[in-house]
Amino acid sequence: MKTIKCMMDHLYWADGRILDALEESKTKNKNLLKLVRHVAVAERVWLDRLQGKGSAQYSLWEETEDLTAIRAMFEENAEQYRIYIEGLKEFELDEMIDYENQSGGAFRTSARDILLQVLLHGQYHRGQINRALRIESAEPAQVDYITFTRL
């Protein structure tokens, strides 16, 4: 549990850093903004599933230009994940969660694996965002876990 909590703290920090980099770049790249919104919405989708709620109301791939709204979503996600994880017991990480994906397919996955999906999914896309920032000659965000641990 300690490792997952620490990794989630890194996720919250890295989400903020990537948003800072996007704001500083003043990018208008629609695909890049769609991608960062996707990360925020996917975090929300998985949280709802962990809480036994449906997620059909969310659209994972929508265009946006509003980084302020995305930041608010990331902040709300962080707050709600902290509450969820604080109430989670170690044994509950291995409990199976039944849910439907965005296409209506039924799945069953452990809470541990869902949390790892959230962590790895975000890191993957933050790497894509950083690469796109570099291509645009903007400064990418340093989001490596080791950087986070040095704070």
pLDDT tens digits, residue range 44-56? 999 999 999 999 9
Angstrom distances, CA of residue 117 to CA of 13, 22, 50: 17, 24, 12
Decide if 39 contacts 15 (C-beta within 8 A): yes
Whole-structure pTM over 0.75, yes or no? yes
pLDDT (tens digit, 9 = 90+) per residue, 11-28?
999 999 999 999 999 999
Query: Could you give the domains of the chain?
Result: 2-149 (1.20.120.450)
Decide if 96 contacts 109 (C-beta within 8 A): yes
